[in-house]
């Protein structure tokens, strides 16, 4: 899947720990592929380090797009990410679409929950 206008980019932020970032990114992907109506692919931003196996520890992100759903993608996606992050309070995911960006954490504040609602409303026509 190519990143495009109706695609969201997800980055798992693990405080600079590349092993945890890769493990959590794969975990999030495993959860998201179970959600009906979306497609999820890995995106590698940087070439693999020389000598690494299969591109491990390269900057890794996910691209998510709607396949077929009657629900807005932004709502489905933020709900799934909230559920994934809530399993461990240190988890953090950055969602990007165009110039819009949102970070979801495992321990959201009221302000963050409001930002999530605003982000969903901005893209509510995505189906």
Q: What does the block give as tokens for 99?
A: 């110039």
Taking only the tens place, the pLDDT of each residue in 8-35 is 999 999 999 999 999 999 999 999 999 9
Q: What is the mean pLDDT of the chain?
A: 83
pLDDT at residue 10 in the model: 95
pLDDT at residue 73 in the model: 84
Question: CA distances (Å), 51 to each of 7, 45, 47, 56, 81, in order?
Answer: 32, 17, 11, 10, 33
Q: Global pTM?
A: 0.81
Q: Provide the pLDDT confidence category of residue 46 given band limits of 50, 70 and 90.
A: low
Taking only the tens place, the pLDDT of each residue in 102-119 is 999 988 888 888 888 888
pLDDT at residue 21 in the model: 93
Compute the distance between CA of residue 48 and CA of residue 44 in angstroms, rounded to an integer. Answer: 9
Q: Determine the average pLDDT of the residues in 40-61.
A: 64
Which is more confident, 37 or 92?
92
Q: What does the block give as tokens for 21?
A: 């970032």
On the 0-12 / 13-18 / 19+ scale of CB atoms within 10 A, 108 is: middle
Q: Provide the pLDDT confidence category of residue 39 given band limits of 50, 70 and 90.
A: very high
Q: What does the block give as tokens for 12?
A: 């798992």
- Is pLDDT above 80 for 51? no
Q: Partners of 11 in the beta sheet?
A: 94
Query: Could you give all domains of the chain from N- to C-terminal order, each with its CATH number?
Result: 7-122 (3.30.70)
């Amino acid at each position: 899947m190519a990143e495009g206008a109706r695609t969201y980019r997800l980055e798992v932020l693990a405080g600079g720990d590349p092993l945890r970032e890769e493990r959590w990114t794969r975990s999030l992907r495993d959860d998201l592929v179970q959600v009906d109506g979306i497609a999820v692919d890995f995106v590698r931003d940087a070439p693999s380090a020389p000598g690494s196996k299969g591109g491990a520890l390269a900057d890794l992100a996910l691209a998510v797009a709607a396949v077929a759903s009657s629900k807005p993608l932004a709502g489905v996606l933020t709900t799934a990410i909230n559920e994934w992050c809530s399993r461990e309070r240190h988890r953090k995911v950055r969602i990007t679409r165009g110039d819009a960006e949102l970070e979801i954490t495992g321990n959201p504040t009221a302000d963050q929950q409001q930002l999530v609602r605003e982000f969903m409303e901005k893209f509510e026509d995505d189906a």
